[in-house]
Structure 1
Amino acid sequence: MAKAVHLGAWFLLGCIASSFVAWLGALHPALLRVMWVIYIMCAAGLGVVLVTDDAVRTFLKLSEPDYYALLIAIAVSIVLGGIVTWLIGG
């Protein structure tokens, strides 16, 4: 139970960070470019980690299902945080 709460807290932290970045991008036009750079860097990082999955997975000592679940959770938290900020009109 404690592990689920811990992983849920990390997921919510990712959602909060993503919504903060999206909110900053909506706040001022100059910050919109910074927001896109951050999102593109996150997408590139996820792409690199997905391509080098065997090396990264053994380095982190994770099983294959846990590793892909972690990647999916990171991607969903980034997307969910940005969409929520967009939906509330931020």
Structure 2
Amino acid sequence: MRAVHLGNYFVAGCIAFSLLGWVASLHLIAFRVVLCFLAAIAIVWGLSWLLDFSLSKLLKISVADLQALLISGLAILLIGLGVFLCS
């Protein structure tokens, strides 16, 4: 059951990033807003890798689980934006 939930979150994340790419294609201002949002996500993602031990204690999960979430987050971003670029 947990695998189904994680799979649903993965698909929902891919759809969300595809939607962001579609919104960015509508207008130049929307592109800039989405670009700033993606830059903020990239900064938080990078800081999460640097602070993984202290962040895992704060979230009360293991470091391996946090790193798996970060890797899956990158995969969600790449798949979601790849769907936008290929369509």
Tell me the TM-score normalised to structure 2 length.
Answer: 0.92
How many pairs does the alignment contain? 87
| Structure 2: gaps of 5 or more residues | none
Cα-Cα RMSD: 1.0
Tell me the alpha carbon deviations over residues 27-63 of structure 1, each in whole angstroms, 9 at most, x when there is no partner. 1122110111111111001011111111111122222
Kept in 1, the 8 Å contact 2:52–2:63? The answer is: no
- Divergent runs of 4+, >3 A: none
Tell me the TM-score normalised to structure 1 length.
Answer: 0.89
Please give the alpha-carbon distance, in whole angstroms, between the structure 2 residues aligned to 1:12 and 1:78. Answer: 11
Q: CA deviation at 1:25?
A: 0.4
Percent of pairs identical after alignment? Answer: 33
Q: CA deviation at 1:19?
A: 0.7
> Is 1:28 equivalent to 2:8 in the alignment?
no
| Structure 1: gaps of 5 or more residues | none
2:61 aligned counterpart, secondary structure: coil
